[in-house]
């Protein structure tokens, strides 16, 4: 197996730069630059080019024994100064050594998976942690990286195996006087299916948290949608004009509200128009608004309020010009803006109460597949159908749980997962 190396810190000037090595020659490669090192500890050394003896940098060198590193392999870290020239010189000296090569994106994490240091769910949690921009994203990613999903999956698997064992016993001893276990099998399958269904919904919410919630601002032309967007963004993100139809496309602004990632959508004014380009903008606005997690409707006098659904906030637009009953809002004066932000944050935060141990749509799909197989097994057990057919449904549920943490059937998605990692991870 090759020994890989890569910088683990971003390029550019910094106080410290970290270079990582992993593989059978990691220690030897580090000693080629730093001289003899203590057994699996740390030492401050002058690094020298092995071919010329020229000093390259002063660095702290750490070595890790096999089984005690992130990858599970023998590993080393070089923590030197963050000069681009110094980093380039060390990388060149490492590349010149036989058996060493630059790591591919995510290769350190991939080796950790292959060596049993991480399961696939923890790898996905690590990827999400590296991408986390908000506190809510960090918390959920850390929950999965910390092994919460793996522990839940192991508990589900053990309970599923209990139901499978009862089913197999009925198959193996069918000709003997053995009490039927169908009621217990149905009970186990029903409870486990309900848990998986709830966790699948939580994983879908976690995916929205990871990608960011969308909040669409909708209403007729000149209702103050772009003015509101600019006030929330704190900059002139959208063009504001008295001319109706100014906004022709969906304008997006990403914000953090109460620790949650939110993308605000300023949409074209909703009206009937003969302008082909504006009409396309209106159609696109309707589609994006319908797909958004939340909609803020700005209603002008003389315009009927839209049907208010559970994910709609309806406000009187341009409250500075049009006083009246009910909650109003003005992007010009700021009236009602703080209350709107608080309400958006409250509604989206309520959704995060559904968060569980899952993180991605892949997790949701695996949980849903397992729950469907369990519901089928439950129905078969209630009907006291053939235990062989029930056993097959339980095997499909077990395969879905094993795929959840990477035991089986995930080779086709590994490239996509590890491709999101930086080279040094």
Residue 117 lies in a domain: no
Q: Domain of 14: which CATH number?
A: 3.30.1360.120
349 plus 230 within the same structural domain = yes
Residue 424 lies in a domain: no
Q: Residue 413 — very low, low, confident or very high, per pLDDT cuts 50/70/90?
A: low
Question: What is the predicted pLDDT for the residue at 243?
Answer: 37
Contact by Cβ (8 Å): 345, 257: yes
272 plus 321 within the same structural domain = yes
229 plus 329 within the same structural domain = yes
Question: What is the predicted pLDDT for the residue at 410?
Answer: 54
By the 10 Å C-beta count (0-12 exposed, 13-18 middle, 19+ buried), 270 is classed as buried
Contact by Cβ (8 Å): 51, 96: yes
347 plus 267 within the same structural domain = yes
By the 10 Å C-beta count (0-12 exposed, 13-18 middle, 19+ buried), 236 is classed as exposed
Q: What are the residue ranges of helices labelled H in 212-336?
A: 225-233, 276-291
> Does residue 239 register a pLDDT over 50?
no
Nearest CA to 224 among 237, 236, 242? Answer: 242
> Does residue 246 register a pLDDT over 50?
no
Write down which residue in 111, 139, 170 finishes a domain: 111
376 plus 348 within the same structural domain = no
349 plus 217 within the same structural domain = yes
Residue with the bigger pLDDT between 209 and 331: it is 209
Write down which residue in 111, 140, 155 finishes a domain: 111
Residue 67 lies in a domain: yes
332 plus 233 within the same structural domain = yes
Write down which residue in 353, 369, 389 finishes a domain: 353
> Does residue 420 register a pLDDT over 70?
no
Q: Domain of 189: which CATH number?
A: 1.20.120.430
Task: Please compute Rg for the chain using Cα positions.
Answer: 29
Token match 């192991």: residue? 154
37 plus 105 within the same structural domain = yes
> Does residue 273 register a pLDDT over 70?
no
Q: Residue 405 — very low, low, confident or very high, per pLDDT cuts 50/70/90?
A: confident
Residue 47 lies in a domain: yes
Give SS3 for 305: coil
Nearest CA to 107 among 65, 73, 150, 67? Answer: 73
Residue 116 lies in a domain: no
56 plus 93 within the same structural domain = yes
Rounded average pLDDT over 34-49: 90
* Least trusted range by pLDDT, from 119-123, 178-182, 307-311, 349-353: 178-182
Residue 314 lies in a domain: yes
Nearest CA to 77 among 35, 127, 26, 130? Answer: 26
Residue 274 lies in a domain: yes
Residues contacting 294, CB < 8 A, separation 6+: 213, 214, 215, 216, 311, 312, 313, 344, 347, 348
> How far is the C-alpha of 377 from the C-alpha of 68, rounded, in Å?
43
Task: State how many domains the chain has.
Answer: 3
Q: Domain of 280: which CATH number?
A: 3.40.50.300
142 plus 79 within the same structural domain = no
For the CA atoms of 166, 169, 170, 175, the dihedral, rounded to the nearest 10 degrees, stands at: -160
Q: For residue 182, what are the domain limits?
A: 123-208+358-418
> How far is the C-alpha of 232 from the C-alpha of 284, rounded, in Å?
22
233 plus 320 within the same structural domain = yes
End-to-end CA distance of the chain: 18
Give Dmax over CA atoms of the chain in angstroms: 85
Rounded average pLDDT over 329-350: 86
Residues contacting 203, CB < 8 A, separation 6+: 356, 358, 359, 360, 361, 363, 364, 367
Could you report the per-residue pLDDT of 97-118, keeping only the tens digit for each?
999 999 998 899 999 999 999 9
Token match 């990477």: residue? 406
Percent share of the chain, pLDDT over 70: 84
For the CA atoms of 43, 44, 46, 50, the dihedral, rounded to the nearest 10 degrees, stands at: 20
Across the chain, mean pLDDT equals 84
223 plus 336 within the same structural domain = yes
Question: What is the predicted pLDDT for the residue at 321?
Answer: 82
Residue 191 lies in a domain: yes
Could you report the per-residue pLDDT of 50-89, keeping only the tens digit for each?
999 999 999 999 999 999 999 999 999 999 999 999 999 9
């Amino acid at each position: 197996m090759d020994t890989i190396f890569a910088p683990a810190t971003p390029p550019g000037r910094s106080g410290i730069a970290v270079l990582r090595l992993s593989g059978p020659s990691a220690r030897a490669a580090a000693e080629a630059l730093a001289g003899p090192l203590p057994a699996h500890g740390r030492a401050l050394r002058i690094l020298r080019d092995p071919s010329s003896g020229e000093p390259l940098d002063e660095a702290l060198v750490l070595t890790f024994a096999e089984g005690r590193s992130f990858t599970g392999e023998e590993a080393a870290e070089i923590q030197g100064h963050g000069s681009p020239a110094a980093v380039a010189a060390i990388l060149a000296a490492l590349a010149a050594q036989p058996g060493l090569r630059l790591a591919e994106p995510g290769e350190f994490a991939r080796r950790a998976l292959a060596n049993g240091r991480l399961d696939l769910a923890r790898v996905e949690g690590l990827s999400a942690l590296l991408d986390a921009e908000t506190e809510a994203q960090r918390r959920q990613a850390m929950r999965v990286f910390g092994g919460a999903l793996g522990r839940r999956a192991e508990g589900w698997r053990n309970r599923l195996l209990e139901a499978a064992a009862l089913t197999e016993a009925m198959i193996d001893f069918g000709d003997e006087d053995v009490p039927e276990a169908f009621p217990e099998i149905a009970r186990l399958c029903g409870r486990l299916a309900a848990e998986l269904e709830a966790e699948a919904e939580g994983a879908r919410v976690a995916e929205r948290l990871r990608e960011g919630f969308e909040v669409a601002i909708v209403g007729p032309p000149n209702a103050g949608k772009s003015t509101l967007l600019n006030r929330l963004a704190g900059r002139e993100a959208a063009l504001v004009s008295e001319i109706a139809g100014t906004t022709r496309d969906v304008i997006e602004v990403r914000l953090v509200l109460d620790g949650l990632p939110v993308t605000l959508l300023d949409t074209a004014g909703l009206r009937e128009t003969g302008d082909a380009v504006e009409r396309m903008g209106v159609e696109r606005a309707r589609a994006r608004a319908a797909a958004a997690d939340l909609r803020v409707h700005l209603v002008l006098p003389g315009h009927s309020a839209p049907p208010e659904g559970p994910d709609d906030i309806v406000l009187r637009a341009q409250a500075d010009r049009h006083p009246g009953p009910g909650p109003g809002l003005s992007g010009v004066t700021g009236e009602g803006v703080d209350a709107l932000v608080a309400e958006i944050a409250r509604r989206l935060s309520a959704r995060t109460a559904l968060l569980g141990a899952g993180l991605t749509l892949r997790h949701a799909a695996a949980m849903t597949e397992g729950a469907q197989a369990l519901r089928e097994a439950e129905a078969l057990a209630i009907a006291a159908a053939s235990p062989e057919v029930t056993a097959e449904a339980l095997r499909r549920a077990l395969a879905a749980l094993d795929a959840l943490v990477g035991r089986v059937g995930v080779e086709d998605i590994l490239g996509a997962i590890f491709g999101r990692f930086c080279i040094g991870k």
